[in-house]
Each structure stands twice: as C-alpha cells, then as structure tokens.
Chains A and B, each alone.
Chain A
C-alpha cells in the first residue's frame, strides 16, 4: 500500500504498454545463459595435455593427472544429486569399484574386440545401483538417505569386494591394455583423452541443460518436492535421470580406474573412506561450476602423489586441503566481497545489483500493474482461451492422523466459474482438506472427482496435469531459481504455456522480477508468483491457500481485480482459504465454514456471515465487514 502511488487509468496503462511490451510480446532479449569461453578452457587444456603429455610431462605426473581426472569424474557424478537434489550419496566409491571389478572381470583374458561389452556391463551395473538408490530417495530422504547409501557402500564393500573370483584376489586381475598405436596411444594417454572428452561433453551438456527447463525441474524436485508436484513434474522420472547420469559418470570413472593401472585397484581403494573423500570433492568445489570440481579433484589427488616423494603424509595433506576448501566455500561470498573490497565501493555494488537484477525489486514499486495487457500474442494465440471446465467434487472426505480426525466427512463442490471460500479457525482442517483434494495426503474416507473422472487414487502431479492448480501457505518455490524458472518449471517446451506465463507475469505485476532469484523476492510477492505458476497451466479448478497474507492492502485490491477479471474470462473454478475477510467477501460467492474438521455451515457469503455461530467460532467480537 505504501508503494509509490500506482496511478491506474488509461494513460498510464498505455505508457506502461510501451515501456514494457514494446511491439513484440514482453519477451526479454535474454535467451538463457550463453556458453562462457572460460568454461571450455580447462577441458581443452586437459585434452591438449593428453595429446602432448607424453612429451612434456614426466611419467609419474601423467599418471597422477589421469588419476585426478578419474576422481574428478566421480566428483562430478556426486555433484549432480548433491546440487540438484540435495542428497548426499555416501556410496560413490562402492559404485566406482563395482564398475571397475566387473569391467576387469570380463576384460580378463578376453579378446580386445569385446571392450565395448565389458564397459557396458561395468557401467550399466553402476548405473542400475545408482538408479535404485535414486528411486529409494523418493521415500528415504536427507540424512536417512545418506545413512542408507552408507549401508549400501559397506554392504558392497564387505560382500562383493571380498569375492576373490571377482576382484582377482591379492594380485588383482589384469586388464587387457590396448596396443600402442604406432607407439602413440599409451594407456595413460587413452585415459587422459577419454576423461577429457567426457569433461568436454559434460561442460557442453551442462550448458545445454541450463538453457532448458530441465534444470528447473531437477532443482524443484530436490528442493521443493511439493512445488514439483504442483507443476506436474514426475519426480521419480527426474530422480531416475539424475541418478542414472550420476551412475554413468561414476561408472566411466571406475572403468578408467581399472584401465589406468592395468588392473583394478585393491578393494581398500573403494572403501568407505574414499566415499567420503569423493563426496568432499564437489562440496569443497563450492558447487558452482563443473570446472571447479575438476580443479579440486586435481588438487586432492595429484598433489599428494606428487609430494609423496617428499615424505609428506598424503592423508594429512588432503585433509588440510579439504578443510581449507570447506572454509573457503562456506564463506565464499564474504571472502569474495573482502577480496574486491566491495563494501567500500558503492558503484561496484550498484553494478552487481544491476547485473543480478535487484533493482527490479524497486521497479516493482514504481511501475503500475498493467491494467490491461493484451491477451493475444501478435493476434495469433488467445492467451486466455478457456479450457473446458469440469467440477471438482469431494464426497465425504475424511483425513485421520492417528486418532485425530483432521477432516471428517466433508463434502465440497466447485463447478466451473464458481468461487468458493473456506474459512475457519486455525487448525480447523482447511489446508488438510486442500491436501486431500490435491493428492498430498491420502484421504482416509471419501472420493475426489474431477468431472466424471475419479482422481482419488491419483498422485499429486497427475492431478495437476488433469487440471487442478494449487498454491501453498508457505510458497513452495525453489530459492535458487529465478522467478521465471520457477514459473516455467515442468512445462516442457510448450510455447503456448510459456507465452501465457509471460502474459500472466505482466498481468500480476511480477514481470519486472522475472530474472531475479526467489530468495530476494519479498514473501508476499512470492504468493503472486505461485498464483501465476498455477494459472499458467490453465487449471480447471484453482486451489489457493491464504493468497493475500503478506500482501499490502493495495496489492490485495489489485489481486482481487485481476483474479476476478481472469476468472470471468476463463471460467475456472476457484476454491480458496483465506482469513482476510475483505478479500474473501470481494472474491467469493459461496462460503464454507469449517470447525474441527467438519463443515459448520455453508451458503452465500451474506447468509454465512450473518450466522451467529460463525460469529462465535470464527469472527470473534471485532468485526467490520
């Protein structure tokens, strides 16, 4: 409310239209991150070293470097679930060992022509175990996932790696090395080349992924599971892909481990301690870029090998490196700020702020919300073409937690074009009812139907795909993604939806914020972002939970205006929970009052508010509607 006055009116809207939309639809010039050349420096350097290494590097250095590359691959493999899903797998070493031993087992004494098959066996097994872990992480998350993966690590270590026939016993099992081609391709050089090619492929792959919405889907899956459901993302599929890729990288590294030595390393090399060290690589890299992971891996592995001849304990050295790297990555921002002495240079701050889009926050208060944003893209697609609507019907819904009946036999119906509000004291079961309708909580009794379709047993993401929209009391948005990424997430490459999302961002006045990370967006505004995200999918029924708490009075008025306008044009059904009676009375036609999991009364707004019981249980004494 206290923002710079929004003047409203046609003149301003017109002016705004010029400023924001220009002639083309409001699509900023920015089309995803471009590939920074610096990212390619390291992989290219490694590649060149691989080619020229024989001539310029002494033998032990080449060996150290190729080992470091393998470590880097494992580090990258663990970086994926760590960064995208926030899961800490502690079985990296066992996975690498599996790949190494199974590759060596099949390679032993075999013909050179079957190398591909052996690689596939080794890597495939590694991927399979990794994917199984990924699927398990749907149920077992966080700390428990780490412990479970530790158990897997120790299990593989104790059971599989103790099989002499597989690992080749104490002497190890020899791996057929390729014959040097014209004396040029030695083993280490091959390792170098394979690893650096993988490195290049990963760099390009990451760049590609950053351009698409895959990244947003991954982050959403890991950071905001319910948010991912709310945009219709199949979380299990994302986890399969991430853990599959992770297994692939670790598997390749494992095979290379076996290859570089001519025999797989002995089992202690794939012990639990190494799992921890492998995991430390991505963590110490600061989790920013793939190149950093390689650099840390190189320091971790090559340095001790190089310095071994100087009688410095390698473990002590790696330990010290880890410690320093961890401290540095923990306070990265502060360290960088101090290095650049940012706090004393306002103009530098301004520059960064500009680059990171923080000024958009201020613009938010300067720019009036576009009263009229054209609803078509260049006259082609009508962005608010209604989807044919179905009614959401919940019959006799009950949700019991242990002995507590949070929701007890509630019937609710929202038809197309209807606007229904649910009010009630705190703890009356409103949000639980939402969760049951939406699939986040399985109802103990009752059925949920969308039109003729029974969706009672459907998972949440499927219901969203069927046409439910949902927002949450505490917005389920991924902090590290931008507003735009959060809204686009889960939409695949559907241009119609993207255009609609852009249009809705304009409509709800969050377009200025599109490219800034959610963590700097004020709490109240996040709710609007969530509403845009839900509406972008053309829901048939929209469920919104406390949409205006944290919004200013004037923003509330705007929200009412925009929602009513959209709803009239598009005809979706609206079910909302809200305590702000001004919002409820302006937006809803029907009202339902819940008390202790049951419906106290329902009907038109005025009838319900006039009810003496409602006054007692909900409104209290002070009422001015």
Chain B
C-alpha cells in the first residue's frame, strides 16, 4: 500500500529564530495513513519544525520531500497547493467573515458545489459551528475560533496535515470527537503530523512518536515504545501507561 518515498520525508531540517537555531537538523518520516506524534518541552522547536515543513518559516538547511519530490525551496502557497496544510496553535481566522465564509475561504480553488458539500461536512463535524454559521468570527469564543481554523484547514482535504496543539482550548467532548476525525483522516490515506502537549491524546492517536528536545530528535519509536520510554525516564506513572496501553489497544 505504501510505496517507498511516499508521504512526508524530512532530512536534516534546520530552522532559525532570527540568528538562533530553533530546529537543528531533524529527520522525520511519515507515510500516508500514518500519524506521527511530536512531543517535547516548551521551546524545543516543535512549532518551528512544523512551520519549516509548511514553508511558513524560512528553513536554513535540510530537505523536505513530499511523495519523493523535493519541495524545500517551494514557497508556502505552493506547498499548500501540493496538499500540505498547517493548523497553527494560534487562531488565525478572518475576523469579519462569518463561519461559513471562513470555511469557503479555506476551500479556495475548489468548485462551488464541492465547497458547499465540504462546508456541510465540516458543519456536521462541528455542530457548534453550525449553530453559529452566520456569526462573524470575531464574535466567536476562543475555542470556537480554533474549531473554525481546524475546519478550514480540512476543507481542501489536504494530503499532509500538520496539526499544532490539537486540544488547545477545546472542551474534552470536542477533543474526543476531533481525535476520531484525525484518525479517520489518516485512515483515508493522509499523512498527519501532530504536535500535542497532552500526552494522553498523543499516545492514543499516534502510530509513531518523535520526542524533540532543543531542536533535535531525542527519541523516536512506535507508540508503545514511547510509552515505555517515557515511563522509564519518569515522565509517566505506571498507571498512566496501563491506561495508555488500553487506549492504544482500543483504537488500533
């Protein structure tokens, strides 16, 4: 099913914060249908890494391959057209546009009918947004704006989805729904890279996990290996691990 070279492949990526390195040579692999989780302390360079992949931030070295094609020098919009979409941890919505209009903006380039269909899909996904579809976005609460930005990113059905802090500011019920959606997206053959502080959500969702520290990959492994590693290094209690393993068993 997965051919060699398909999906996202990152080699030796470097991203600078001004003159200071934020990402110092990171390798990542994520095949279609897989979810790659990324964790790490604040300031480890997680967001910079995603921004570098999406082309939002200029990279200073290394290559990004999408389905075997080198896109390292492509501008952000072209990567977007190629199917890489990033959901920022901050809420980026068009404040004066309504929910529906924001979603339509996300479907730019699609046919009119398709935009309609997709919008409906998204509104089904987030019933809360359906209730408020005509409300201008600046009137929405923080969590609702976050839903809009996630939904907008999903509008084009991206090949490669970069999610920064999925659960940030969302009610538990919504997070539970979203994890299902992300799983489903991956099962449809998309590549998903997920940055998440909430380890519970991450271990439940991801197939592989990379632990980032100071701009480098400190550990990489499958989810259960990661859980054990985290436990070994004292980040997770044995009880947590049991819960995680149960969750993993139930989802995979």
Contact = CB atoms under 8 A, between A and B. Distances in A.
B89 interface: yes
B199 interface: yes
A339 to B, nearest CB: 13
B15 to A, nearest CB: 12
B202 to A, nearest CB: 11
Contacts of A438: none
B243 interface: yes
Contacts of B21: 349
Interface string B134-158: 0100011111101100000000000
Interface in A20-54: none
Nearest to A429: B141
Contacts of B171: 423-426, 579, 618, 620
Contact of B17 (A3, A5, A520): A520
A294 to B, nearest CB: 27
A72 B44 CA distance: 44
B197 A552 contact: yes
Nearest to A348: B19
Interface stretch (A161-169, A204-212, A521-529): A521-529
Interface string A340-373: 0011000001001100101001101100000000
Contacts of A430: 141
A425 B41 contact: no
Interface stretch (A126-134, A477-485, A543-551): A543-551
Interface in B205-220: 211-214, 218
A353 B172 contact: no
Interface size class of A (residues with CB under 8 A): 35 or more
B60 interface: yes
A343 to B, nearest CB: 7
A581 B172 contact: yes
Contacts of A432: 141
Interface in A498-539: 520-525
A555 B176 contact: no
A425 B142 contact: no
B128 to A, nearest CB: 6
Nearest to B233: A5
Contacts of A401: 139
Contact of A525 (B18, B42, B175, B213): B42
Interface residues of B, number: 53
Contacts of A551: 42, 197
Contact of B128 (A342, A426, A624): A426
Contact of A523 (B16, B42, B132): B42
B177 interface: yes
B108 interface: no
Contacts of A560: none
A92 to B, nearest CB: 30
Contact of B235 (A549, A554, A580): A554
A592 to B, nearest CB: 14
A1 interface: yes
B62 interface: no
Nearest to A526: B42
A425 B175 CA distance: 11
Interface string B150-176: 000000000000000101111111111
Contacts of A327: none
B90 interface: yes
Contact of A358 (B17, B139, B174): B17
Contacts, number: 145
A531 B141 CA distance: 21
Given A352-B19, A426-B174, A474-B142, A1 B41 contact: yes
Given A1-B39, A525-B43, A426 B172 contact: no
B40 interface: yes
B168 A427 contact: no
Contacts of A579: 143, 167, 169-172, 175
A583 B60 CA distance: 39
A337 interface: yes
A426 B43 contact: no
Nearest to A346: B21
Contacts of B235: 1-2, 553-554
A356 B20 CA distance: 10
Given A522-B42, A554-B235, A618 B173 contact: yes
Nearest to B89: A523
Contacts of B135: 404
B147 to A, nearest CB: 7
A333 interface: yes
A431 interface: yes
Contact of A622 (B176, B197, B234): B176
B20 A349 contact: yes
Max count, chain A CB within 10 A of own CB: residue among B60, B147, B212, B235: B235
Given A358-B20, A425-B128, A427-B132, A553 B199 contact: yes
A240 B206 CA distance: 55
A617 B233 CA distance: 37
Max count, chain B CB within 10 A of own CB: residue among A431, A474, A555: A474
Interface string A407-440: 0000000000000000111111111100000000
A623 interface: yes
Contacts of A343: 16, 60
Contacts of A352: 19-20
A431 B141 contact: yes
A473 B91 CA distance: 11
A401 B21 CA distance: 45
B170 A550 contact: no
A325 B183 CA distance: 51
Interface in B41-74: 41-44, 47, 60
Contact of B144 (A426, A550, A620): A426
Max count, chain A CB within 10 A of own CB: residue among B16, B18, B140, B218: B18
23 contacts: A2-B39, A2-B211, A2-B230, A404-B139, A424-B171, A425-B128, A426-B141, A432-B141, A520-B20, A524-B42, A524-B197, A546-B142, A549-B165, A550-B89, A550-B197, A552-B42, A553-B198, A553-B199, A617-B173, A620-B172, A620-B173, A621-B176, A623-B172
Given A365-B213, A580-B198, 6 more contacts: A2-B213, A358-B20, A426-B142, A523-B42, A525-B43, A549-B168
Interface of B: 16-21, 39-44, 47, 60, 89-91, 128, 132, 135, 139-144, 146-147, 165, 167-177, 197-199, 211-214, 218, 230, 233-235, 243
